[in-house]
Structure 1
């Protein structure tokens, strides 16, 4: 395919730097816009930038939005819809698909309306009402904040007590500390099983044949303990449209086609021998999931997204084994503490002991006089990925690559992928969800 023009838009935090860099390295013309002042330096030295994304719309062959947020409000779906109506090829959502993430109650309504099984859930806009519900219906629950505050990932709480007493105490604490910002929350009945995310790529008409199945590791520390983070690492594989897909996204294909959705869409689920229980949508790219998907797409990434945005069936080749991605972070991640960040992490050098950059992906990084450095304020400079014919082989390659990185104060989880090896894969197979296509 001849060189094409790609415009990347981050209308809140800068998230899509690595995909822009990947497509730029493939020989395409790229311009990247970042709205957040604190993130402006992210990607410097790696990809060309623009200060006015709207001025580049006519120039672009493909426009890619990285998230649903425009500052503190959802809105990229509306912008994407408007641009499509003007004849532009866009990777992005619609107002309705944005609401799948921002309004968890709406998401469950859409699932139920299309015959997808859901876990028991309730929406509350009053803390006392939520507390009363738990006390009258004692059980373990998951607390999921609604709206803008859901981006504070550590506020998600998974209850452990059978009588729900820990959930009651957390809700009381949230009311005092976050009541002015947390305008609502969802209580989901906790379900035991294997947590797996089903990720499809939709071209405005249908899903492509290849489906991505990934396993998130959201807690800060190995062993899945500590505070919630956006993500510390991911393991994954690609397969065909098996039972997991057909009983979830397979039932939503017509709805997404009517919306003219284009891009990656992810549905995180709990799966056990009794059924599939969707938890939440990500109607956009996942991070660092997209970096790992880039690692496993063995054909042209730019060509893939060009055809996806134009409503075609991309001729994409994906790795047939397993993939691992590990997020490398700096203090005070996942917390906000400007003094700690300034003293330990701002402009930190990322040093490589070899010349190879295989499996090294950008997050909050810049290049200054040839030196990779941390950028922005979040303390997430890079992601390290790897792939192998087995999950064990992928893990070994990923951590070998991390051993060649020197970054003072860096930390990461060293157990990404172990859940699959220790039984998750066997259970999914035994329950009949993966099928012969894996």
Structure 2
């Protein structure tokens, strides 16, 4: 493919740096815009930047949005729709697909309207009403905040008590501590099983044949212990449009086509022998999922996204095996503490003991005089990936690469991918979800 001009837009925090870097390294012209002032230095030395993305629209062949947020408001879907109406090729959402993430009740309505199975769920805008519901219908529940505050990942709570008493206690605490910000929340019945995310790539008209299946590791510590984070690591593989896909996105394809959505859309589910139970949508790139998907796309990444944006069915080649990504972080992640960050992490050097940068992906990093350094305020400088014919081989490659990195005070989970080895893969196979595709 001839070189294309790509404009990457972070209308809030800088998230898409690694994809911009990958496309730039493939020989395409790239310009990257970051709205958040605290993140402006992220990607410096790796990708060309612009201070005014609107001024670059006419220059760009492809425009890529990285999230649904414009500052503290949902809104990139509206921007993407306006640009498409002007004839531009855009990777991004629509107002309704943005709403899938912002409004969990709406997301469940869309699923139900298209005959996709759902878990019992209720949306509340009053804490006392939610507490009464649990007391009157005792069971384990999951608390999912709605709106802007849902980005505070530690507020998601998965109940353990059969009578829901721990959920009642947490809601009472949230009312005191977060009542001024948490304008609503969803209570979702807890279902036991294997948690798996189905990720499809949509070109405005249909899903491509290759489907990505990934497994998130959100807790801070190994063993799924500690506070929730955005993500500490991901394991994944690619397959065809199997039963997991057909019973979820297969029923939603016409809805996404009517919207004209373009890009990655992820549906996190709980699966057991009784059925598939969707939990939540991510109608955008996932992080660090996109870095791992880049690693496993063995054809041109830039060509893949350019084809998607132009409504073409991409001829993409993906790794036929397993992949894992490990987020390597620094204090005070996942919390905000400026003093701790200044003392331990700000501008810290990322030192490599080998010349190879295979499997090393950018998050909050910059390059100064050839030296990789930590950037931004979040303490998430890099993601390290690995792949192999087995999940264990992918794990070994990723963790061998981490062993060659030196950053004082760095930490990471050392169990990414173990759930698959310890039985998740066998269970999904036994329940009939990973059989041959029809594609």
Could you say which TM-score interval applies, normalised by the shorter chain? Answer: over 0.9
Structure 2 match to 1:164: 164
Match of 1:264 in 2: 264
Q: Tell me the number of residue pairs that the alignment of Structure 1 and Structure 2 aligns.
A: 438
Aligned twin of 1:117: 117
Aligned equivalents of 1:333, 1:134: Cα separation in 2: 33
Residue 3 of structure 1: SS of its match in structure 2? Answer: coil
SS for the counterpart of 1:144 is strand
Give every structure 1 segment of 4 or more consecutive aligned residues whose post-TM-superposition deviation is greater than 3 Å: none
Q: d(CA) in 1 for partners of 2:348 and 2:250? A: 45
Whether 1:76 and 2:76 are equivalent positions in the alignment is yes
SS of 1:319's equivalent? coil
Deviations 1:180-223 (A, max 9, x none): 00000000000000000000000000000000000000000000
Aligned to 1:410: 410
Matched, 1:228 2:224: no
The 5 Å alignment of 1:26-425 reads 26-425=26-425
Q: Structure 2: 5+ residue runs without aligned partners?
A: none
**SS in structure 1 at match of 2:333:** coil
Task: Name the SS of the counterpart of 2:350 in structure 1.
Answer: strand
Deviation at 1:437, TM superposition (A): 4.6
Q: 1:436: how far off?
A: 2.5
Q: What is the CA deviation profile of residues 93-135 of structure 1, one whole-angstrom value per residue up to 9, with x for unaligned ones?
A: 0000000000000000000000000000000000000000000
- TM-score of the superposed pair, with normalisation by structure 1: 1.00
Measured in 2, the distance between the counterparts of 1:18 and 1:147 equals 27
Q: Distance in 2 between matches of 1:222 and 1:194?
A: 17
2:4 alignment counterpart: 4
Structure 1, residues 301-330: CA drift from partner, whole Å, max 9, x if none? 000000000000000000010000000000
Structure 1 runs not aligned, ≥5 long: none
Coordinate RMSD, CA, aligned: 0.7
Displacement, 1:18? 0.1
Partners of 2:428 and 2:323 in 1: CA distance: 17
Secondary structure at the aligned position of 1:252 is classed as helix
Q: Distance in 1 between matches of 2:347 and 2:171?
A: 38
Q: Distance in 2 between matches of 1:154 and 1:258?
A: 35
Q: Does 1:17 align with 2:35?
A: no
